[in-house]
Structure 1
Amino acid sequence: MLLCSKHSLNVRYFYNINEISNDIWKELDCESNRYFHRKYLEALQLNNSSIKFAYIVLLNENNSPVALATIQIVDFYLDSVQNDMQSVVEWVKCMGRKLGLIPPENVFKILTCGNTFVSGEHGVFIKDNQDKNTIIRSIAKAVVDFENLSAKNSADVFMFKDFENISEFTTSLHDEGYNSFNVDPNMVLHLEPNWSSLDDYLTALKTKFRVKARKAFKLSELLKTEDVTAGRLSELFPEMTSLYKTVSTKASFNLGDFNLKTYKTLKENLGDNYILKVYWLEDKLVGFLSGVFNQESLDAHFVGIDYVNNRQYAIYQRILYDYISLGIAKKVKTINFGRTASEIKSSVGAVPQDLTIYLRHKKTIPNRILSLFLNRIQPSEFTQRHPFKLKD
């Protein structure tokens, strides 16, 4: 643990989640949000050794904690960017090499204030009745100071990830040199409070979309599902990892690979609040879903799909409907499906939630070039479907 008091608020840095005292956790009172629960954060840090984790705690003049920020330093390879963004990346490589700003291996170390593995505003917790802009400015300065503390903390780029659009923090972060941009939106399904089963959801659909759902259930009849326990994961891990890789490699923008061994710790630490379900076609594993129940939401985590069998057996559609069934059973208000496959998610009722990312290079001239790059990034276009009947 390191202490710094160069800002209006005192700053403490921790390199391990278990270094943060019980008194701090108690005063922050943040653990009702799973993403700021020490057991969730412990699972990420314990199983993803390729990422450097750290934590910032801000304290007021009375030395009482008022905010927590999570830091993750990841290696990001430009060559990993695919699909619609490839032309933009090629332009960045060309400009960067001419100016000597792009390393030969095309790798950037990104210091992220946020959650690398989940879409949403899960990187900064601020207690109620605080001046949020003052805290965000303090965290932005603390992030830079953290990078300067040690060569081990070295990063090329700083990122504040996934703030809801239009963020109240935009001015504060722009003043600190950050550039803002939007990538593909988080797709969110709002559940009606009177839905008590999946049949209620299906009844709310227009005929065309209800027929589509029934067809998916018919095609997926041969699939057998299994709720996975922590003890069962070691047997399924190789096949699940292979399925995960088939999905993750299709993503146009992926900050880092998730080690599926994290699932075992998440199940042990969070119990029924973390869900894992696998799909069998006879004796072949052809899919899985994962997710976390957080307050009044079900957040879809990673999925795995056997694309060879996906169309014939409607594996991905079945996964989406199973998320909905799980959410209704738990009486959550929303299901956060994440960023990818926006159109098919909209066909089950999800609507886009725009999220803003803030990025800055640690050097002034590269930061100006970075702003030109970010101006070229646009969210992927898709046709928004409207599957629900109009309400009376």
Structure 2
Amino acid sequence: MTQNFTFSIYQTVQDLPQKWDEVAHSNAFLQIPYLQVLERSAPTNMECFYIGIFENKNLIGVALAQYLNLNKLESFGERDKCLKTHIRNFVFKNFASHALFLGNNMITGQNGFAFSKEMDFNSISKILLNCAQELIIYFKKKNIKIHIASFKDFYKNAANQLKDDGFASFYEFNTQPNMIFELHENWKSEADYVNAFSKKYRDQYKRARKKLEEITFRELTLEEITKNEARIYQLYHYVAQNAPFNTFFLAENHFTTFKQQCGDRFVLVGYFLNENLIGFHSLLLNTTVLETYFLGYDDQVQKEKMLYLNMLYNMTAFGIEHAFKKIIFGRTALEIKSSIGAQPIQMSGFIFHTNPLINKYMSKIFPKLEPTLKWQQRHPFR
């Protein structure tokens, strides 16, 4: 273990040490209310571990790890039906079905760890690797062989430093970029944002908003989310099932649990047509950052009413009107997200296979498994 640093791995939130949230204050995705959401409504094929990092017995860091059993997954995603997809699914089922993630596989962004003091990346890489090795041993004792271990979502500067230190021998992969919208400090309202568009994208905005005229939308209370839980899940599940690739599906009570645990910091907006719930989007208020979370919609209404694009506009308006500095829109739907102003920010992960022979050829195998991505970045502002 790195000099003076030790760690403990916890399986329940109630066992976490005091001052956990104090150390995690910069990231809501590592704080106890969100960890309780994971504990109470994690995907059925996921097991979460909470890691406390200590220096001379003082808690100075927190981290999250997740084990995924891909054998329990109903589908890896049903949008793409090509041969490459069938090969990818076969490989994942047979050679990567037991996966360990250091970080949060459910969201996009550098959300895997937080420290209360400045840490060098050499120490961070050693701590994370030691945590991974201890968890691999833990599962081995349960007769579960971890196939792959992945250290997830680092921005370029962090990735470069990790690569120079403890992760030098691991395969670095870059999947779809994270779409991030840095909000202009002079924008105080949605009108300021729209006025910054070029004519083409202002016309797109007007066209989309006109399509929304028959639809009402509002933030839902805990009672409303609970009442509509089955319908919300149905809308989410349709979108998730038709994604190009999936490693989990949320539990049906996930959004209700999120609202119960995080209160006003979690916002779920419902969209109604003739009083029927036909879509929703959700957000997490994370200090100065607005994190977009899962959404869902009725596909027929989405196509006719440009519902997804209108959700993106609404999330942006919320971010501006509540003075957030940036909005994390995550991966997927890159082109349409760029059309509302988000920029692609490349993120890296590191991965190794516990089979030395497979690991040796990871740089050749992994790129062949990634979904093919072709998109054109849009530039909506004057």
TM > 0.5 fold call: yes
- Could you report, residue by residue, the CA deviation over 1:32-52 in whole angstroms, capped at 9, with x for unpaired residues? 421111111111111125321
Written as runs of structure 1 = structure 2, the 5 A alignment for 1:107-122 is 108-122=97-111
Q: Secondary structure of the residue that 1:193 maps to in structure 2?
A: coil
- Closer, same or farther in 2 for the Cα pair 1:206/1:235, shift >3 Å? same
Match of 1:59 in 2: 54
Contact 1:183 1:379 in 2 (8 A): no
| Alpha-carbon distance between aligned partners in 1 of 2:190 and 2:21, rounded to the nearest angstrom | 38
Once the two structures are superposed, the pairs formed by residues 25-44 of structure 1 within 5 Å of their partners are 25-26=21-22, 29-44=23-38
User: Structure 1 residues 67-76 or 6-15, which shifts more?
Assistant: 6-15
Offset of residue 386 of structure 1 = 0.4
**CA–CA distance in 2 between the matches of 1:252 and 1:290?**
21
From 45, 69, 74, the equivalent of 1:50 is: 45
> What is the alpha-carbon distance in structure 1 between the residues aligned to residue 62 and residue 260 of structure 2?
24
SS at match of 2:135: helix
Q: Which residue of 1 aligns with 2:163?
A: 170
Matching of residue 388 in structure 1 with residue 381 in structure 2: yes
- The 10-residue stretch of structure 1 (254-263 or 348-357) with the greater mean CA deviation from structure 2: 254-263
**Identity over aligned pairs, percent:** 25
The letter of the residue matching 2:341 is G
> Using a 3 Å threshold, how does the CA distance of structure 1 residues 197 and 93 change in structure 2: closer, same or farther?
closer
What is the identity, as a one-letter code, of the residue corresponding to 2:154?
F
Map of 2:14 onto structure 1: 18
2:125–2:167 contact (8 Å) kept in structure 1: no
How many residue pairs get matched?
373
AA in 1 matched with 2:106? F
Give the corresponding residue for 2:182: 190
The unaligned stretches of length 5 or more in structure 2 are none
- 3-state secondary structure, aligned to 1:122: coil
Q: Partners in 2 of 1:302 and 1:25 — Cα distance? A: 24
CA distance in 2, matches of 1:66, 1:379: 41
1:331 paired residue number: 323
Once residues 179 and 258 of structure 1 are traced to their aligned partners in structure 2, the CA distance between those partners, rounded to angstroms, is: 29
Retained in 2: the 8 A contact 1:230–1:265? Answer: no
Give TM-score scaled by structure 1 length: 0.88
Moved more, 380-389 or 123-132: 123-132
Q: Return the alpha-carbon distance in structure 1 between the equivalents of residues 171 and 226 of structure 2.
A: 42
2:273 maps to 1:281: yes
Alpha-carbon distance in 2 for matches of 1:254, 1:135: 28
| Contact 2:19–2:59 (Cα < 8 Å) also in 1 | no
Q: Does 1:126 align with 2:121?
A: no
**1:89–1:145: structure 2 CA closer, same or farther, 3 Å change rule?**
farther
Paired residue type of 1:76: L
Alignment match, 1:180 = 172
Q: Is the 8 A contact 1:298 1:335 kept in 2?
A: yes
SS at match of 1:174: coil
Counterpart residue identity of residue 139, structure 1:
L
Farther off after superposition, 302-311 or 375-384: 375-384
Q: Which residue is 2:66 aligned to? A: 72
| SS in structure 2 of the partner of residue 309 of structure 1 | helix
1:250 match = 242
Amino acid of the structure 2 residue aligned with 1:134? S
Counterpart AA for 1:188: I
Amino acid at match of 2:192: D
User: 1:169 aligns to what SS in structure 2?
Assistant: helix
Partners of 2:102 and 2:24 lie apart in 1 by 17
1:202/1:210 contact within 8 Å kept:
yes
Cα separation, 1, equivalents of 2:21 and 2:317: 34
The one of 152, 160, 166 equivalent to 2:151 is 160
Unpaired stretches in structure 1, ≥5 consecutive residues: 1-5, 97-101
Question: Would the alpha carbon gap of residues 103 and 225 (structure 1) be closer, same or farther in structure 2, given more than 3 Å must change?
Answer: closer
